Amino acid sequence: MLWLSYLNAVSKKSNLPRTLFSFLSLSLFFPHDLRPLETTYLPAAEPHTVQILACLTPGEVARLQEALKDGYRAEISFILRIYEARKTVFFGDTLLYEAQHTYTAWWDPVGREYLLATPRGEQFHFPFWEQFYSRFTHSPLFRVPTLKGMRMYTTCQAVLKPKLFNPPLQILNSVGQSESIASSWLRMDWAP
Amino acid sequence: MRKDTFQAAFLGLLFMYLALIVLVLLFSARLIPDLSRGYTTQGWILLILALFFLLFLLGMVVLNILRLFRDRYSRKPGVRFKVRLVGFFILISAVSSIPQGVLSVSFLNSTVNTIFHPSLREALEGGLSIAITYYDEKIEHIRSIGRNRFAQQVLERPDRGTSRAWNDLRSLYPDLSAYQVFSLRGVPLFFAGNTALSLEGPAALSAPEGLSPRETKSGGVTILRFKQVIGTDPNRPIVILSFTLPESFDRNAERITTTLNTFTQLEQHRAQFNATVIIVYSFFAFPLLLLSILVSFLLSDEIIRPIVNIEEATRRVAEGDFSYRILSRSRDDLFHLAESFNRMVTELEKSRRTLVQTEKVTAWQEIAQQLAHEIKNPLTPIKLSAERLLKKYQEDREHFERILQSSVETILKETNSLDKLLKEFKDFSRLPTPVMRPVPLKLIIEEAVQGYRYTPRIRITVDPIPDSFILMADADQIRQIFTNLLTNSIEAMPEGGDIRIRADLVKKGNTRYCRILVADTGVGISDEYKNLVFNPYFTTKAQGTGLGLSIVERIIFDHKGQIWFESEQGKGTTFFIDLPLESGE
């Protein structure tokens, strides 16, 4: 099932070399179909914007909560790619732009609240899990410019690292001890 | 593989290794998310790449070691030296890197274990507990404003004056740092206290009523704010009370929390951490070790190549090839050594030519003297016999006939002796050029022995000679060697005795020889004559010409062989002959 889903996703991009490379690589490294994280596009709050919602399985939600309480930091990245659709077979579609937004979260045992930080240095406090989880799994608004006459589509992906090690254990991140969960790429076409 | 090719391959490998490390570091962040699906295996991809290079280097090293074994088995020149050099390099590399790695890893582990001792955890948990208690008390203290009637009276009666309210609140809460009053629309009405803690109107409006989450200023000051909307009037004011925690509170609390979290993580992943440290170290150190071993192969090749050239040149010169020269491309010390060697060989060749010329002259002088002496010996009896005949014929004709026969017999005898002497000299000086063809040694010896098999009182024993002993030689000349040696042996045993012949295989360098042994139980050779036996015309026998062993030596020299002997007077003599076997090429 994973293969069908994945081939469906990548074939829409008509990027044959990448598809073949990914297919061969995946056949080596991902023998099982695991789907603990998926994404969905939220209805646009403003025109020409996209917001991504990350959906974790209940088991992963519990693991995330447990990891935060154990003192790990968690990180979620929302990646949005904007493509121009082209009718070629071999060269694929053109990647116009890629945007990424990352939240880092942790549990503060002194204030007994969840903290969420953005790369810009903003910090948000959440005394309750539900508030925190809602914010953590919602991406900010990504602006998608529309160009007249150009057939465009976006693909999005969320990558969650539920357990980031502190120094000096960061060496474990480098050899894959830090788990990383990625969703499949989700496509959305934009009207020209 | 040629040396240049090997060097190029090695440098290419090194460059590829470094380039791929850079590429992996640069592009892994982009490549891996593209590959990701479900649980990503970023680390595994890096591990696999590193493992690939390790295996590649390992393969190269194993290949070189196998080549070394092959060279050693085939006794390639200089291979023993190369083995020693490579072994030495590997030993040095291992001695320097393995203990260093073990020490580094164990030092890191022991340091981590020492730092993250259980007592530290207890101390950290205690510290965190104190911080939480302090923080809770502070929170409770601030929250009590809402329940404090006097405080509420102060806050709800702004008509008393804000300055007075500030003073009253300070008397109730000495730790109050700032007092701010805003209109319901967020317009600042009054501020007292630490100006660094002042809040903008929009922030005041968006703050939740009651206690806000603590905030930390860039200077490290932690602020707790309490917001209250006073009364129900449409123009009711908003009051913000700001309290500060000790300047380092938040930073220290974070440090304690982080350290405690690290402690927990280490406890959960200690085994992985130790293994990872070893793996990461190995992935950096082991390729370097393998590279140093590959370098040792390269260097040893570079070092032994000129030595092998010199060894080869020395061997060729020793075999008589004075035309061999060493070529050297580099201009290092070994180049000068090669130059000196070439110069030496040139000088040696000149000296040899001069020596050969001198030896020839000397030899011919000696031969002329010997020949004159040998010819003079029979001439004396011939002259005396002729003079005697003449004298008797002139003075005593009666008795002339009586001595005629004996004198003529003497003259004939000495003339025959002279004839024999001249014939052997002719044979010696005109020894024909050998016609080389493969001949079995066994057959030649059997033919030579056959003529002496029935000599009275002489027993000849020939040990089994392998059929594989094939000489590239002139069969007639080789047969003559054995004929002369057997004749000498038989003449050395007038009372009879044993002669034994055997042949063995010996190797000198890359050349195979058969060593033939001819031993008799004769009278032996006295020490004073041992240096003279191969000299032409030297003999201890009454009827000998002294050319037999000279001819033997000459034939063996023409066949690129060697002859020597051991002798003990009264016990016998053994001649050893080394003759090269056919190589089969």
Q: Cα(B222)–Cα(B134) distance, rounded to whole angstroms?
A: 13
Contact predicate A103/A118, CB 8 Å = yes
Q: State mean pLDDT over B336-365.
A: 82
Q: Which positions in chain A touch B43 (Cβ < 8 Å)?
A: 173-178
Residue B459: what pLDDT? Answer: 92
CA dihedral of B298, B303, B307, B308, whole degrees rounded to 10: 0
Q: Which positions in chain B touch A181 (Cβ < 8 Å)?
A: 38-40
Residue A101: what pLDDT? Answer: 94
Q: Is B38 left (phi over 0), alpha (psi -120 to 50) or beta?
A: left
Nearest residue in A to B28, CA atom: A174
The token duo for A131 is 């508030």
- Cβ contact, residue pair B33, A157, below 8 Å: yes
The token duo for B265 is 């993580």
Residue A8: what pLDDT? Answer: 44
Provide the pLDDT confidence category of residue A114 given band limits of 50, 70 and 90: very high
DSSP code of residue B37? -
DSSP code of residue B526? -
Residue B84: what pLDDT? Answer: 86
Higher per-residue pLDDT: A2 or A172: A172
Higher per-residue pLDDT: A124 or B373: A124
Of A36, A109, A171, the CB nearest to B280: A171
**Among the listed ranges B230-234, B253-257, B565-569, which one has the minimum average pLDDT value?**
B230-234
Contact predicate B491/B525, CB 8 Å = no
Residue B353: what pLDDT? Answer: 81
- Cβ contact, residue pair B38, A2, below 8 Å: yes
Residue A3: what pLDDT? Answer: 43
Residue B330: what pLDDT? Answer: 66
DSSP bridge pairs for A158: A78
Minimal C-alpha gap between B33 and chain A (Å): 8
Q: Cα(B371)–Cα(B390) distance, rounded to whole angstroms?
A: 28
- Cβ contact, residue pair B264, A71, below 8 Å: yes
Decide if pLDDT at B4 tops 70: no
The token duo for B31 is 């490549």
Q: Which positions in chain A touch B268 (Cβ < 8 Å)?
A: 70
Q: Which positions in chain B touch A127 (Cβ < 8 Å)?
A: 213
3-state secondary structure of B426: helix
Note the pLDDT tens digit of each residue in B96-148.
888 888 888 888 778 877 777 888 888 889 999 999 999 999 888 888 887 77
Q: Cα(B461)–Cα(B446) distance, rounded to whole angstroms?
A: 11
Q: Give the residue from A5, A8, A190 showing the smallest Cα distance to A84.
A: A190
Higher per-residue pLDDT: A16 or A65: A65
Residue B36: what pLDDT? Answer: 39
Residue A14: what pLDDT? Answer: 40
Q: State mean pLDDT over B433-460.
A: 87
Mean pLDDT of chain B: 81
Q: Cα(B63)–Cα(A113) distance, rounded to whole angstroms?
A: 61
Q: Give the residue from A65, A27, A48, A2 showing the smallest Cα distance to A145.
A: A48
Contact predicate B173/B186, CB 8 Å = no
Strands B458-462 and B497-508: parallel
- Cβ contact, residue pair A34, B38, below 8 Å: yes
Note the pLDDT tens digit of each residue in A9-64.
444 444 444 544 544 455 455 544 556 888 999 887 778 889 999 999 999 999 99
Q: Which positions in chain B touch A175 (Cβ < 8 Å)?
A: 43, 46-47, 276, 279-280
Higher per-residue pLDDT: A152 or A24: A152
Minimal C-alpha gap between A46 and chain B (Å): 23
Q: Give the residue from B312, B286, B389 showing the smallest Cα distance to B58.
A: B286
- Cβ contact, residue pair B46, A171, below 8 Å: no
Residue B456: what pLDDT? Answer: 86
Q: Cα(B248)–Cα(B258) distance, rounded to whole angstroms?
A: 15
The token duo for A21 is 């490379």
Best to test chain A binding among B40, B116, B214, B274 (most A CBs inside 10 Å): B40
Q: State mean pLDDT over B56-81.
A: 86
Of B42, B253, B257, the CB nearest to A180: B42
Decide if pLDDT at A4 tops 60: no
A85 touches chain B (CB under 8 A): no
Higher per-residue pLDDT: A192 or B178: B178
Q: Give the residue from B377, B400, B405 showing the smallest Cα distance to B390.
A: B400
Residues 6+ apart with CB under 8 A from B300: B81, B82, B85, B86, B89
Decide if pLDDT at A78 tops 90: yes
Nearest residue in A to B115, CA atom: A168
Higher per-residue pLDDT: B328 or B97: B97
Residue B9: what pLDDT? Answer: 67
Percent of chain B predicted with pLDDT > 90: 12
Q: Cα(B398)–Cα(A54) distance, rounded to whole angstroms?
A: 157
Q: State mean pLDDT over A88-111.
A: 86
Of A70, A71, A175, the CB nearest to B43: A175
DSSP bridge pairs for B517: B502, B576
DSSP code of residue A166? P
The token duo for B542 is 């009454």
- Cβ contact, residue pair A175, B47, below 8 Å: yes
Residue B7: what pLDDT? Answer: 67
The token duo for B180 is 């701010």
**CA distances (Å), B183 to each of B34, B125, B420, in order?**
54, 44, 153
Note the pLDDT tens digit of each residue in B215-230.
877 777 888 998 888 8
A165 touches chain B (CB under 8 A): yes
Tokens 């090269």 correspond to what residue? B580
DSSP code of residue A138? B
Best to test chain A binding among B25, B36, B212 (most A CBs inside 10 Å): B36
- Cβ contact, residue pair B33, A108, below 8 Å: no
Q: Cα(A53)–Cα(A136) distance, rounded to whole angstroms?
A: 9
Minimal C-alpha gap between B288 and chain A (Å): 20
Q: State mean pLDDT over B543-549.
A: 75
Most confident segment among A128-142, B211-225, B330-344, B469-483: A128-142
Of A175, A177, A182, the CB nearest to B40: A182
- Cβ contact, residue pair A181, B39, below 8 Å: yes
Contact predicate B35/A6, CB 8 Å = no
- Cβ contact, residue pair B34, A165, below 8 Å: no
Residue A77: what pLDDT? Answer: 94
Of B43, B132, B276, the CB nearest to A109: B132
Higher per-residue pLDDT: B408 or B302: B408
- Cβ contact, residue pair B37, A168, below 8 Å: no
3-state secondary structure of B329: coil
DSSP state letters, A53-121: EEEE-HHHHHHHHHHHHTT-EEEEEEEEEEEE----SSS-PEEEEEEEEEEEEEEETTTTEEEEE-TTS
Contact predicate B304/B82, CB 8 Å = yes
Residue B93: what pLDDT? Answer: 81
Provide the pLDDT confidence category of residue B209 given band limits of 50, 70 and 90: confident
Nearest residue in B to A124, CA atom: B213
The A residues from 38 to 67 touching B (CB cutoff 8 Å) are: none
Decide if pLDDT at B31 tops 70: no
Residue A159: what pLDDT? Answer: 92
Q: Which positions in chain B touch A35 (Cβ < 8 Å)?
A: 38
Residue B27: what pLDDT? Answer: 56
Most confident segment among A64-78, B6-20, B32-46, B185-199: A64-78
Of A26, A110, A173, the CB nearest to B132: A110
Q: Which positions in chain A touch B33 (Cβ < 8 Å)?
A: 79, 157, 159, 182
A125 touches chain B (CB under 8 A): yes
Provide the pLDDT confidence category of residue B460 given band limits of 50, 70 and 90: very high
Residue A19: what pLDDT? Answer: 42
Residue B184: what pLDDT? Answer: 83
